[in-house]
Structure 1
């Protein structure tokens, strides 16, 4: 059955991606490594827009933009050029932003996501290059700010703005698109998504196929979903009360989970675009063949290969290819000779699940060790080694530790500050699987001590069996195999 959209919801996104893997900014030689620097220390007369300065275009930024365009199956323009977008705002020292208007470097493209009714194609309207403005830090909330501080370290950073067609039909689809889009960018190695300001999103949404509203500068995928959920509800309520939806720009207050009106929406003519006189038009089509040769295996292709080469499920392949460093880690484990299906289960289900539970973001992989940082506190760092995964899963396969104990070892490594092997952790915590006679004694004691639960089970209450198994696990401090304990209890009670 085709997906129905009775509320006429249309969502389009404008995604600003900072090319922070480049060493220098878009038009000057200032370093892009400013995130831990003091304010206004990574600036020069060019990125501050001082009179008499001239921009020099970063060739690597152009190549990165072409890479992105090719990965999005977009049309690379035969000729592209820069414009000046004129508006006054404190974070824009020149009074205009160097961007692209009617000749963007990338034209029509597409991204395939998992929609509400199966695979769904989201069209790409365009992707263009521009410079990042500075950063405003409000003293207090944006509504009641007592002042604003400006940091120009970010000013002049290379950006790619990707504009989608209004093809998404729910906040969930918008979040899935952003997850897929970020995944593609990480495969291309053009940005580090763990850095502040690496990706910022403007979301356009309308209901009942009506007037659209723009929500500016949302910094997280979850934030986009929350902002859209609120805004859709707000627009429906306005219409239900007989009101009219205004063409406007709104701000999403993360703390309160609401959108706030900022200003009426600007149109193209408000920006008085005109060609940037200090930068010549570019013809880059001759670059395309060489850049195509550098493109990596992209997520969809890697997912298909994993299923064919390793015989794993589509669900596991999706999870493992959701992060290129996780995919590389998985292949590192498989390269040791471990069964690929077993490796997929422990990597995708257990290891990735524990990372997500702890809000840990994968930050590196060097061929042997996968590193991660806490999403909200980058100071918290840790790592996990391929040999550790292999050793642990081998011990489990040999029956020396239970699955529960093996998970506890993974948690200990993720939470720990000392480097210890799985065997050392298992020895210290006493996690080696209990001997058969120990489990047998624990089963006998459990049956003897819990007569009521035994009678309930014999009377048909299956939940009581889970309770009894839990008591055995408690007595053996989690070292018993739960399946074995269950089988022994049933055998003892029912013969």
Structure 2
């Protein structure tokens, strides 16, 4: 990992200690499983949830005489990801053997890339916030490299009282290891970075980002130093598979290191594990360096070479990515940067929004998607894919407001009905008598009754015109929220003689 310091200390992100402020230095190595039907060097399937050792070829099991053959789709996916990260694509790269010995690594080495990766330096812009003023800060995080490598299998220690079992279904699955520069200075920045990285890959279709299935996980490197000083000794926390846990691990580890240093101790460079149940890290082993792995070019694989035309052909078919969509939402639909950020945060949400917004007011569509739909999904623990209200149904609710059939208040009630019971919004309005009252005679009668029943309030409103809103609220209540709010407001002001 690069040791070039690209950021100056930010007072907002310093941690107070007994001997003064401290700065956290964070770098991440994100392992993203490539979306492909077969593994990196074999034709074995990659489907999640298969029976143990069902997705294992002779190559994955490292049987004698078996030779790896590169999967071109995995190469394409790595290039697409590199392009999405605004990174340099290396037209020649080399696969190396990384030697280490674990029971779930049948070959006794991992085929990876070391000095010549497929993707070089790139960048990701993350938004951190909001702060107390509601503002977001854009921060550029450098990408050191992206390289392809094969995953190891999985050891299971809880299946037998005296033995461990090994499942090789993941052995040989293609991974993209995305190595950041040590540019992050807080847990919030690290969480925003992983969130953005996952979002980009989901838009590209190169990794599904399902951390609970292990298809995205991170090794987190943390060190602390006095602001502006030399880099401290870093510790690496392995295989964290939750964005929330990444934040917790960073906060704990930073404070652990600060406490040791302020007590006069030194930090041992080591690999640690994060225990989510206890919210703490614990030592796993001393940290390996590159020479410990005895890298050398894999003799069974030729250098990977392609030309610029190959890269350009892939670039042409790339989808629009979150940053570009966000700019378009702000510029073309007039959305706030905050609302646009929420919409583009997940491809499924963005796709849903575009369906709702088609031919409609973008701001109205955004308000309903963000405040009502996503709010209801969050409260019930559902994802956008599980929404009981379709884009067509939500769009129909917005249409009924626009054409005056229902008021905004009735629309909220209608949304709840559709959420709980389903059905066509237009037909529900007809069958349940939810139409907005637009008959000025009926509205005027309700206004007169409210004014007659509250003579003391009338005088107060004439002295203080803003109190006319109280009368509007009473009329709306009396009409069950069905009266046209604009008509009610106009009649109340006219009857009270206020502007």
* 2: CA distance, partners of 1:340 / 1:32: 40
Matched, 1:49 2:62: yes
1:227-242 map, 5 Å? 227-242=249-264
| Alpha-carbon distance in structure 1 between the residues aligned to 2:302 and 2:32 | 24
State yes or no: 1:391 paired with 2:406: no
Per the TM alignment, residue 255 of structure 1 is displaced from its structure 2 partner at its CA by 2.5
Change (3 A) 1:494 1:43: farther
The equivalent residue for 1:202 is: 219
* Partner of residue 107 from structure 1, selected from 109, 120, 127: 120
SS in 2 for 1:15: strand
Q: Which residue number in structure 1 is paired with residue 95 of structure 2? A: 82
Question: Structure 2 length normalisation: TM-score?
Answer: 0.80
Match of 1:128 in 2: 147
CA distance in 2, matches of 1:438, 1:239: 77
Q: For the residues of structure 2 that align with 1:174 and 1:314, how far apart are their CA atoms?
A: 21
Given the alignment, which residue of 163, 188, 191 partners 2:204? 188
Matching residue of 1:378: none
Question: C-alpha separation between the residues in 2 aligned to 1:445 and 1:425?
Answer: 30
Based on CA coordinates, which of the two structures has the bigger radius of gyration?
Answer: 2
With over 3 angstroms needed to count, the CA separation of the structure-2 counterparts of 1:421 and 1:237, relative to structure 1, is farther
The Cα shift of 1:167 comes to 0.3
Q: CA-to-partner distance for each residue in 1:62-89, whole Å, 9 max, x for gaps?
A: 0111111111121112321111111122
- Per-residue CA deviations over 1:190-242 (Å, capped at 9, x if unaligned) read 12224711211111111124211111111122221122122222222222333
User: What are the superposed Cα offsets for residues 376-425 of structure 1, whole Å, 9 maximum, x if unpaired?
Assistant: xxxxx75613x212210112234444435434544554555x5x222355
* Residue 11, structure 1, aligned to residue 20, structure 2: no
The equivalent position to 1:31 in structure 2, one of 45, 51, 54, is: 45
Pick the aligned partner of 1:295 from 318, 325, 333.
Answer: 318
| TM-score (norm. length: structure 1) | 0.80
Contact 1:85–1:272 (CA under 8 A) maintained in structure 2: yes
Q: Which of 168, 181, 189 is the aligned partner of 1:165?
A: 181
Alignment match, 1:118:
137
- 1:138 and 1:425 mapped to 2: Cα distance? 56
Q: Distance in 1 between matches of 2:448 and 2:218?
A: 61
In 2, Cα distance between equivalents of 1:253 and 1:246: 19
Q: 2:306 is matched with which residue?
A: 284
Equivalence for 2:191 = 175
Q: Partners in 1 of 2:256 and 2:170 — Cα distance? A: 34
Partner in structure 2 of residue 155 of structure 1: 171
Structure 1 residue 446 displacement after superposition: 10
Going from structure 1 to structure 2, the CA distance change for 1:425 and 1:226 (only over 3 Å counts) comes to farther
For the Cα contact (< 8 Å) 1:431–1:478, is it kept in 2?
A: no
Question: Hey, what does 2:351 align to over in structure 1?
Answer: 328
Distance in 2 (CA, whole Å) between partners of 1:90 and 1:486 is 75
Query: What pairs up with 1:408-487 in 2 under 5 angstroms?
Result: 408-414=413-419, 420-425=423-428, 432-433=435-436
Is structure 2 residue 317 aligned with structure 1 residue 304?
no
Q: Greater shift after overlay, 214-223 or 310-319?
A: 310-319
Matches within 5 A, 1:231-270: 231-270=253-292
Deviation digits for residues 347-375 of structure 1 (CA, Å, limit 9, x no counterpart): 2343333333433334xxxxxxxxx14xx
Alpha-carbon deviation of 1:146?
7.2
* SS at structure 1 position matched to 2:62: coil
Q: Find the aligned partners of 1:263 and 1:471 in 2 and give their Cα distance.
A: 70
Pairing 1:403–2:397 present: no
Shift of 1:166: 0.7
- SS class of match (2:299): coil
**What secondary structure sits across from 2:107 in the alignment?**
coil
- CA separation of 1:68 and 1:492: change in aligned 2, threshold 3 A: same
Aligned twin of 2:4: none
Size of the aligned set, in residue pairs, is: 466
2:83 to 33, 53, 70: 70
Q: Check 1:149–1:409 CA distance in 2 against 1; reply closer, same or farther (3 A cut).
A: farther
Distance 1:210-1:433 versus aligned 2 partners, 3 A rule: farther
Is residue 76–residue 105 contact of structure 1 (8 Å, CA) maintained in 2?
Answer: yes
- Asked whether the equivalents of residues 27 and 181 of structure 2 are also in contact (C-alpha less than 8 Å), the reply is yes
Structure 2 unaligned regions, length at least 5: 1-7, 15-21, 130-135, 226-230
